[in-house]
Amino acid sequence: MGNFNSGQLKRLKEIFEELEYQVIFGKGQFKSGYCIIQDKKMIVVNKYFDTDGKVETLLEIMDQIEDPKEILLSKPSMKYLHKLYERITEIKN
């Protein structure tokens, strides 16, 4: 696809850190390509995904997180997150 770059992936990882989640790119035997350990606030994403796959997976996980993102995230982070969601929507249409 080539729609996302490593800088965008890094920024998205930083947004998860703002929410106090640790993001790890590793290997595992998870069928969905990722694993969320809620009580430890840890996310493991398949390290063999390309950059697009990692970004899309992290955005999918962001939708599942029940933390009050609007309260915990800085305004620049919320704005950036909305931009990524808009980009995903454009790509899929």
**Is position 66 within any domain?**
yes
d(CA 72, CA 43): 18
Point out which residues pair with 15 in neighbouring strands: none
Residue 2: predicted pLDDT: 56
Domain span holding position 18: 6-92
d(CA 48, CA 72): 30
**Is position 26 within any domain?**
yes
| pLDDT of 69 strictly over 90 | no
**CA dihedral over 10, 62, 78, 14, signed as positive or negative:** negative
**Is position 53 within any domain?**
yes
Q: What CATH number should be reported for the domain holding residue 81?
A: 3.30.2010
d(CA 74, CA 57): 22
**Is position 79 within any domain?**
yes
d(CA 84, CA 3): 11
**Is position 1 within any domain?**
no
Point out which residues pair with 37 in neighbouring strands: 42
pLDDT tens profile 20-67: 999 999 987 777 888 888 889 999 999 999 999 999 999 989 888 876
Residue 15: predicted pLDDT: 92
**Is position 76 within any domain?**
yes
Residue 28: predicted pLDDT: 75
pTM over 0.75: yes
**Is position 37 within any domain?**
yes
**How many domains would you assign to the chain?**
1
Tell me whether strands 22-26 and 34-37 are parallel, antiparallel or unpaired. unpaired
The residue-averaged pLDDT of 62-91 equals 82
